[in-house]
A and B are shown apart, each in its own frame.
Chain A
Amino acid sequence: MPLRIHKMKINRTVPFSVQTPLTEEIIASLRAGDMVLLSGDLYTARDAAHRRMVEAVQKGLPPPVDLKTAAIFYAAPSPTPPGKIIGSIGPTTSYRMDAFTPFLMEQGLRVMIGKGNRSPEVAAAIQKYGGVYFGAIGGIAALTARCVIRMETVAYGDLGPEAIRSLTVVDLPLVVANDAQGNDLYKTEQNKWRISL
């Protein structure tokens, strides 16, 4: 079946552009292995911010971001030098957020960006709720910072680097790692290149 995004046929062999907030249709059309250039608004949140968000919701308080439209980037940038928009930024390892993710997806979260494999529970939640997990390359943070055109701290400022920040990015290069069909790129690619000795 040909993939259609913005009523255009997509060539899956080259990166294509997607814009946040990602619609249900676009999320459903993404497949593990698709290379995308993501533009629009994101929120950063990692370990400590996840714990606080979950605790807030469990107490009946509103989370600091609208989970239904948010794309969450597991990241904490280095401090912003004078004259720059942001310091260096890149993904942190996602498995540490796995414990919180199914609950946040139940609350409406659909889009996550990080690095490394997710747990079977998260993969199942992505499939159940129709979400997507994008893999970003770790350790190329000076390069990734160039995609960020706006940054603002929006919650949990006391957490320092772990505060929730709102970012606007342009053409952030990502690959679809887990899709709503249950595919897992890390697993399939690693198996493809494995040599039995």
Chain B
Amino acid sequence: MMRRIRAKKITQAVRKLFIEANTALSPDVVSALKGGLKKEESPIGRQVLTKILENARIARRTEMPICQDTGLAVLFVEVGQEVHITDGDLREAVREGVRQAYADGYLRKSVCDPLTRGNTGDNTPAVIHLDIVPGDRLKIIAMPKGGGSENMSAAKMLIPAAGIEGIQQFVLDTVETAGANPCPPIIVGVGIGGSLEQACLLAKKALLRPVGSKNKTDRRLAQMEKELLGKINALGTGPAGLGGRVTALAVCAEMMPCHIASLPVAVNIQCHVARHKEITL
């Protein structure tokens, strides 16, 4: 027996998710920022963190975007194999939800032709990652992703001999090179293994974990996350890159097996306006 979900319902859900994600910072990020304020010793760094928290309160209260860069619309959509979508096409329903969110929510349209740089005008196309899963539910995760932090992200095919030290060094180098640019304090998503594109996807999905959580499936990764966070916060970059102890709020790493010849690693950097919101229909 298939469960029917109308395409219109998907559009409405996507519209709501992007407006909410862009105006209301989630509690895990707010509490991580408050934790950062307790740790920060630099006077400028403390001022920056205080303003970031004040901004989140104002944005929520006045329903204004937390950041003017309301992002490229990235979505993870998990469709239960017993779901039947009626009255429309799933991808078009998602795109329409993005269009409506960015128009009705007064969100900035930041999508353009890569070569002419002409703006598409409605923040589409969205980046939609579709997955078929067991069950009769449909889960949508909306992740508006800003350009400044995405620009500082990187992927590299390491050689297997590089090992965990090589992985850590690549992450650290990427974060150090990023400096002030990606709006620290950042969250660092690390994807290890798979193929080139799988590592990138793992890194992005790692950013969906609650800030402050550790990898629950692999103790080696949990340990690496902790070590890397310490090393990143020793860089001195600090809030807004103006110096300080709190350069990153969290490191989240995910891993899967890879080819015997390869060690793919991807680092996806997320600014302090870490936005994602989900719904299950």
Contact = CB atoms under 8 A, between A and B. Distances in A.
A139 B55 contact: yes
Interface in A146-197: 146, 159-162, 173, 175, 185-186, 188-197
A138 B67 contact: yes
A26 interface: no
A80 interface: yes
Q: Interface size for chain B: under 10, 10 to 19, 20 to 34, or 35 or more residues? A: 35 or more
Contact of A142 (B42, B58, B179): B58
B15 interface: no
A193 B64 contact: no
B199 interface: no
B119 A162 contact: yes
Q: Which of B66, B119, B181, B237 has the most CB of A within 10 A?
A: B181
Contacts of B238: 189-190, 193
A87 B68 contact: yes
A193 B87 CA distance: 58
Given A79-B108, A190-B243, A197-B234, A137 B51 contact: yes
A77 B235 CA distance: 31
B240 A135 contact: yes
A48 B117 contact: yes
A51 B115 CA distance: 13
A93 B64 contact: no
A195 B108 contact: no
A87 B107 CA distance: 8
B121 interface: yes
A16 interface: no
A101 interface: no
A189 B243 contact: yes
Given A87-B108, A142-B55, A190 B121 contact: no
Interface in A103-127: 115-117
A142 B62 contact: yes
Contacts of A143: 51, 54-55, 58
Contacts of B110: 161
A188 B241 CA distance: 11
Contacts of B42: 189, 193
Given A115-B180, A140-B51, A193-B245, A161 B237 contact: no
A185 B242 contact: yes
Contacts of B242: 135, 175, 185-186, 189
A88 B258 CA distance: 43
Interface of A: 47-48, 51, 75-81, 87-90, 92-93, 95, 115-117, 135, 137-146, 159-162, 173, 175, 185-186, 188-197
12 contacts: A51-B117, A78-B65, A78-B68, A95-B181, A135-B180, A135-B242, A140-B51, A141-B55, A141-B68, A161-B110, A189-B42, A190-B243
